[in-house]
Amino acid sequence: MTDWTREDLTLANCADEPIHIPGSIQPHGILLAFDPALTLAAWSANCGALLGCVPALGMAAAALRLPDPALELLSDIQADLHGGAAMPMAVEVTIGGQEYDCIIHAHEGRIVAEFEHRVQASDVVASFALKAHSAIERLKRQQSVEALLNIAVTQVRSLTGFDRVMAYRFRHDDSGDVVAEARSEALEPFLGRRYPASDIPAQARRLYLINTLRLIADVGYTPVPVFGRESDAALDMSHAVLRSVSPIHIEYLHNTGVAASMSISIVCNGRLWGMLACHHMRPHQVPYSIRMAADVFAQVLASTVQTLESRAEAGAIERGAELGSQLLETLSQEDDLMRALEQHAPALAAVLEADALIMTQHGDLRCHGEVGSELASQIVASVPDHAQALSQRNCLDDWPPALRAQVGKCVGMLVLSFDPASRGMLLALRREQIEAVRWAGPPDKVVATGPNGPRLTPRGSFAEWRETVRGRAEPWDATALTIAGQLLSKVSRFLAARNAEIERARMELMAMLGHDLRDPLQAINMAGALLERGSQSELIGRRIQSSSNRMERLIGHVLDMSRINGGIGLGLERRPTALDQLVRELVEETAAAHPASMFRTDIAEPVMAVVDSDRLVQVLSNLLSNARQHGDPAAPITVGLARAGDDALLTVRNHGPAIAPALAARLFDPFKHTSLNKSKNRGGVGLGLYIAQQIVLGHQGSMTYHHAEPEVVFTVRLPCAPPAATA
C-alpha cells in the first residue's frame, strides 16, 4: 500500500489511480483473455459457473465450451491482429438458455472476449435501430451547437431509457457546464450547473478519449476479480465494456443518489469537447447494440459540432484576414501608423473580441473604448521591453502588484508587439467577467480517513453551491489568437519593409544633401573670395542670395520631414485669410522671379478661409515650382480659386503629358527614386509634394492629381471654416 501523509494528498494522487487495470469486472458478464495463439491467459472468477468448466492457464479456447459463433469471432480477431491490437467485434450468443452479447477486441497482444448478459430480447433491441436512424437524421438538420445538444439529450434518453441525460460542455480550465438536459419530472434540474475539472482526473480523460462509452449497470455491484498468471502484467482493460470502476467514482455516484450511470464522450479534433452523462435512480442495463447506436449518435454529434465550430472559426479568421488587408491598404496610403490603427479601431476590437484598445508607438498614445489616457499610459509602461510578440494577461494576479488597484474592470489584456524598437504595440483589453457560478456542490475534494488510512474523497453534497468569481477575464481562445497572430505578422512585415525603405532613402538623402549643399557652399566661398578682391559686388550678392535660399529650402524640407516623422507635427497657426489676395500676390512674386515663364490666375470671387497662410504659400510654391520645371515653357501656368460648397478649391494647371501610372501611385510618397538626382529638380530631394500633402491634411483637406488633356492638374481642397477638433 502506498504510504501517503495528509500533506501528500492532492489531486495528483487521484490522477495516479490505475483505473485502466482494476483487476476486476462488473458482475453482469464474464471476461476471458487469450494469448495470440488463443490459449487462456486470464479470466474472471465467475466464468466457470457460466461455462460449466474449470478454467486453467494455457487452456485452448475450444476447450472452454464456448458457443460456435464466439469461437468463429475469436478466429476472425486472431486473423485481424495488427501490432497486437484489433477493433471490437460483436455477435449474439446463447449460453445456458440465456442470451449474451459477445464482444471481442485485442489490445497489447491480448485477445479479450467479454460475454455481457442481455436483459432484453433480440426483437426488442432491433426496433431501436430505427429509432437511432431517425435520431441521427434529426441531428444532422440542426444549425447551432445549442440546438444539437438539446436534440442529443432528448434522443439519447429516448434510446436508452435513463431518468436523466445531461450534455456537458468543457471549458478552457476543464470544468464542465451542463448546457442541455432531458430528465424525469421527479428529478431536480441540473441545467446550468458547473462541475469542477477534478471530477474527471487526467487518466479518466484519457480513457474517455480511447473508449468513448462506459456503462455502470448497477452502482451497488460487487466487483468480480480477474485471475491470471502472477508473472504477467496486469490486464489492461482500457477497451473492455465490463471494466470495473474506481471506488472513488462509485462513492461519487452514491453521493448523488445515482444507481446506474452511462457516459458517452463527445470528441472533437482529438480532444474531449464534451460529454453526454446518463443517470438512473435504479439499476439499469442498456444492451450493447443500443449503446453502440448511442455511441454512433454521439460520433455524428461530435462531427456536426466540429463542422459548425470549424465553419464559425473559418468565418472569424476570414474576417480577420480581410481586416488585415484593409489595414495594410490604409497603411500604404497613410504615413501615420497610429492614425491608421485608429481608423480601424472598432473593427480591430470586434475581431479580437476586446472591450477597449490601446495603440502606441514612439510615445504616441491612442485609445479606443472605455479606457482613459492616464490609465493607458500606466498599462503600456507595465509591458516589459522583452515581452513576447503575442502575450496575454487573463486575471488580476497576472498584473504587477502596483497596478492591480488601478486597472479597474480591464483585467484581461492581449499584447500585440509589432515594433519592439519603437515600443509599437496594440493592446486589446477585456473586462472582468463576474460569474455567479452554480457549482454542483462545493468543488473541492476533501481528505477523509477510511479502512486504508487517509485518502481523497469525492464531494459528499451535490446541492447547488454558489460562488462569485471575480478578477478574471475570459481568456482569448485559439481562433482569436490565430487572428491576432495574422494581424501582428502583417503589420510587423509591413513596418519592417517600410523601415528598410526609409533607411535606404535616409542614406540616399544624406549622400544627396552632402552633394547638393556642397554646390551652394562653394558658390558662397567663391563669392567671398571675389568680395575680398572688391569686384562685381552686385552679381556676387545675387549669387550669395540664390545659394543661401537653396540651402534654406533643402534644410527646411529636412526639418519639416523630421517634425512629421517625430510626431511633433508642422505646428499650423490658422488665421482668417483672403485666399484670393494670397494667390494673386504669390503668382506676382513667382512671375517676377521667373520672367521666362508665363503665369495667370483664374479667380471667380473672393474666398475667405481659416488657414496657416505661410504653410499654404509653401504648398502653392511647391506646386508652381513643379509646374514650371516639368511643364511646357511655351504654355502658361494657371492658378485657379473657387468656392465648392463649404470648401475652397485651389488648382494649379500646366501643359504636359500625363504622369506615368507607376509614379502617380507614389506621387505623394517621400524619397521617390524619380525625384532624386533629377536634372530638372536640382533644388529638391523628393520631399516637396509629401510635405505639401501633410500641410493640406493638417488643415483636414485633400490634395489630388489628375490629367485633363493637355494639362496636368493638381487640386487642393480646403475647408473654409476651421476644423473643430483642432481649432
Q: Indicate whether 550 pLDDT > 60.
A: no
Q: Indicate whether 73 pLDDT > 90.
A: yes
Q: Indicate whether 37 pLDDT > 70.
A: yes
Provide the 8-state DSSP code for 580.
Answer: H
Q: Indicate whether 672 pLDDT > 70.
A: no
At 36, the pLDDT band (50, 70, 90 cuts) reads very high
The predicted structure's pLDDT at residue 726: 38
Q: Indicate whether 546 pLDDT > 70.
A: no
The predicted structure's pLDDT at residue 725: 37
> Picking from 51-65, 76-90, 155-169, 520-534, which range would have the lowest pLDDT averaged per residue?
520-534
At 248, the pLDDT band (50, 70, 90 cuts) reads confident
567 compared with 145, residue with greater pLDDT: 145
At 563, the pLDDT band (50, 70, 90 cuts) reads low
3-state secondary structure of 11: helix
322 compared with 131, residue with greater pLDDT: 322
> Picking from 172-176, 178-182, 215-219, which range would have the lowest pLDDT averaged per residue?
172-176
> Picking from 9-13, 249-253, 370-374, 611-615, which range would have the lowest pLDDT averaged per residue?
9-13
The predicted structure's pLDDT at residue 2: 32
Contacts of the segment 342-351: beta carbons below 8 A, 24+ positions apart: 342/366, 342/368, 347/323, 348/323, 348/426, 348/428, 348/487, 349/428, 351/316, 351/319, 351/320, 351/323, 351/480, 351/483, 351/487
At 66, the pLDDT band (50, 70, 90 cuts) reads very high
At 114, the pLDDT band (50, 70, 90 cuts) reads very high
> Picking from 308-312, 404-408, 500-504, 563-567, which range would have the lowest pLDDT averaged per residue?
563-567
The predicted structure's pLDDT at residue 517: 53
Give just the sign of the alpha carbon dihedral 574, 579, 581, 583.
Answer: positive
Q: If 0-12 CB within 10 Å is exposed, 13-18 middle and 19+ buried, where does residue 266 land?
A: buried
The predicted structure's pLDDT at residue 468: 52
The predicted structure's pLDDT at residue 623: 92
Q: Indicate whether 455 pLDDT > 50.
A: no
Q: How many residues does the chain have?
A: 727
185 compared with 569, residue with greater pLDDT: 185
Q: Indicate whether 41 pLDDT > 90.
A: yes
Q: Indicate whether 690 pLDDT > 50.
A: yes
Q: Indicate whether 231 pLDDT > 50.
A: yes
The average pLDDT across 706-715 equals: 92
The predicted structure's pLDDT at residue 124: 60
C-alpha 638/C-alpha 168 separation (Å) is 77
The predicted structure's pLDDT at residue 474: 82
C-alpha dihedral (569, 571, 572, 574), degrees to nearest 10: 140
C-alpha 342/C-alpha 461 separation (Å) is 53
| Residues near 45 by beta carbon (within 8 Å), at least 6 away in sequence | 224, 225, 226, 227
The average pLDDT across 208-230 equals: 90
Task: Write the pLDDT tens digit of every residue in 374-432.
Answer: 888 888 888 888 778 888 888 888 888 888 888 777 888 899 888 888 888 899 988 87
At 232, the pLDDT band (50, 70, 90 cuts) reads confident
The predicted structure's pLDDT at residue 5: 35
Q: Indicate whether 679 pLDDT > 50.
A: no
Q: Which helix (H) or strand (E) holds 435?
A: strand 435-440
The predicted structure's pLDDT at residue 549: 56
At 230, the pLDDT band (50, 70, 90 cuts) reads confident
- What is the β-pairing status of strands 424-430 and 164-170? unpaired
> Picking from 244-258, 307-321, 362-376, 665-679, which range would have the lowest pLDDT averaged per residue?
665-679
E strands, 624-685, in order: 637-644, 647-655
Q: Indicate whether 526 pLDDT > 70.
A: no
The predicted structure's pLDDT at residue 673: 45
At 523, the pLDDT band (50, 70, 90 cuts) reads low
User: Any alpha helices (H) in 447-567, and if so which ranges?
Assistant: 478-533, 537-565
CA angle 176, 180, 183 (to 5 degrees): 115
The predicted structure's pLDDT at residue 440: 52
Phi, psi values for residue 207, rounded to 5°: -65, -35
C-alpha 563/C-alpha 566 separation (Å) is 5
Task: Write the pLDDT tens digit of every residue in 131-173.
Answer: 666 777 777 777 788 988 998 899 899 888 999 999 999 888 7
The average pLDDT across 218-245 equals: 89
The predicted structure's pLDDT at residue 453: 42
Contact 250, 183 (CB under 8 A): no
The predicted structure's pLDDT at residue 720: 87
**pTM confidence score:** 0.62
